[in-house]
A and B are shown apart, each in its own frame.
Chain A
Amino acid sequence: MIETRVIEVLAPGPLATVQDLGRPGWARLGVGRSGAADLAGHRLANRLVGNAEDAATIETTFGGLRLRSHADLLVALTGASSPLSIAGQPQALNAPLRLGLGDDLVVGVPKRGLRGYLAVRGGLAVEPVLGSRSTDLLSGIGPAPLRAGDRLPVGSAAGSVPVVDLAPVPEPEVEPVLCVLPGPRRDWFDDRAWPALLDTTWSVTQDTNRVGVRLDGPALVPNVDGSLPSEPLVPGAVQVPLSARPLIFLADHPVTGGYPVLAVVSRADLGAAAQLRPGQRVRFRPA
């Protein structure tokens, strides 16, 4: 008999989902890419336990995750700087850790950042949907958000056991500065909008989730009357809707949108955008 290795969810915290690199190729049918909001955090967690980067991890939101292991496992937590304990003992982030049979793992509320990534050697072997194990909260595709009592199967390990003890990773910044490129509809705004985007210290509103991060600050008013015919969106698109306050789209963004995109956050800073939490301040700088 083949024994299935299982990890049990005792508490998911405010929101915990299974994520991988997402499901490219379905946007033409109305399904977005989804995937880990902070891809760098997801990839690092996998590397630390010797997984391929496309193995599924748990994405936590504001900590609060409690798990119980029903096998001997190797795990790593990256991303938001949360206190972490295994069997009651404090543990380091960004490091491969042994999680023994019957041990509880507890992720606390992060001091900085929003989302954590817990990788398990072997990856989470939940059923893929359209080629990915990611939960897409906008389109409702993929595994449901984790609930207490869920028993998550762990896959068989591939790759060699890592030899690293600890990855040197900076904590998410208190007031990050995100690098932006001009967006495809910058010409829908007058000459003041781009400098205003760059010169303002924006505050992150409560309206922040895997779809996007809504910011508050001065109004950015398009100078083109009428609406924009729906056009495709990308992660990092900084769209200015009718509220005139910018919104940074993240992994679960809609496939298309009808408001102009003034800027696009560069790929390297998308993870920092995904770590923004309500009340935090953020600035932009040109690429």
Chain B
Amino acid sequence: MISGSGRPGPARSRDHREIRPYGEDGLLVEVLEPDGVLGLYAALAAASIDGVEEVIPAACTVLLRLRPGADSDRVAREVGSLPSLDPDRQPGELVEIPVTYDGPDLDDVAVLTKLSVEQIVALHTGRELTVAFCGFAPGFAYLSGLPKDLQVSRRDEPRTRVPAGSVGLAGDRTGVYPRESPGGWQLIGRTDVVLWDLERDPPALLRPGLRVRFTVA
């Protein structure tokens, strides 16, 4: 129980997690081991703990939204003792995304990374990436696994309009804009693949845990 004046100390569990209350209906689980979020997310999805309404992964945390009246102490104990699943042992479905590498920031990325355009394309298509989490817009997937040599900061001036299908880089992430929106990522290409379609079930092509490989269109 947390008082209004005392400082809450997060509970530590054996799998390098810290569990913090997030309002009356939330528990925020911080995963302290690198790339450990998907393993916990997979375990939580498989465990379906009583009282948990929704499990939402993010960069280093997983939010559990609880049903009103759920016993958050009990849920926290169960989460604390839940072993993570190893995502490598049950790899998600592989999605291929053909890309035309002619983005407006390709030359800037070449300068920033000291790579040629050919090398950028080879690195971007050269390995399987993983959907870490979704956010920003429906169907926008933050992909992890980008090679270090390809990691660049966001643009200094975000664009007010980024076209749907634009493929971008930001820090250790890459991703595809599902629809036209503002955005600050460095755009290196575009794809015709539809990332978000309400007529499809599920509407998002890319879901947390899925593997992605970019190819040259």
Contacts and interface: CB of A to CB of B under 8 A. Distances in A.
Interface of A: 24-31, 129-130, 139-141, 181-184, 186-187, 229-232, 234, 236-237, 254-256, 261, 264-267, 286-287
B68 interface: yes
A94 B198 CA distance: 37
B204 A181 contact: no
24 contacts: A28-B55, A29-B134, A29-B202, A30-B135, A30-B136, A30-B137, A30-B204, A130-B198, A141-B198, A181-B21, A181-B24, A182-B4, A184-B28, A229-B58, A230-B58, A230-B133, A231-B58, A231-B59, A232-B63, A234-B65, A255-B56, A266-B24, A267-B25, A286-B5
Contact of A267 (B21, B24, B141): B24
B23 A139 contact: no
Contacts of B139: 29-30
B63 A30 contact: no
B61 interface: yes
B137 A187 contact: no
Nearest to B28: A184
A287 B4 contact: yes
Q: Is the interface of B mostly helix, strand, loop or mixed?
A: loop
B203 interface: yes
Given A130-B198, A234-B25, A28 B59 contact: no
B23 A181 contact: yes
A141 B2 CA distance: 37
B23 A232 contact: no
A187 B8 CA distance: 9
Interface residues of B, number: 43
Nearest to B178: A30
Given A182-B2, A266-B24, A129 B138 contact: no
A266 B2 CA distance: 14
Interface string B1-12: 010110110000
Given A25-B54, A28-B55, A231 B138 contact: no
B58 A184 contact: no
Q: Among A25, A129, A186, A256, find the residue whose CB has the most chain B CB atoms closer than 10 A.
A: A256
Contacts of B59: 229-231, 256
B60 interface: yes
A30 B207 CA distance: 10
Nearest to B63: A232
A231 B60 contact: yes
B25 A29 contact: no
A184 B22 contact: yes
B146 to A, nearest CB: 15
Q: 8 smallest A-B Cβ distances: which pairs?
A: A286-B4, A229-B59, A232-B63, A264-B23, A30-B134, A256-B135, A29-B204, A184-B20
A267 B4 CA distance: 16
| Residue in A232, A254, A256 whose Cβ sees the most chain B Cβ within 10 Å | A232
A232 B56 contact: yes
Contacts of A234: 22-23, 25-26, 63, 65
A28 B56 contact: yes
Contact of A139 (B7, B25, B137, B141): B137
A103 B26 CA distance: 45
Nearest to A265: B23
A277 B134 CA distance: 32
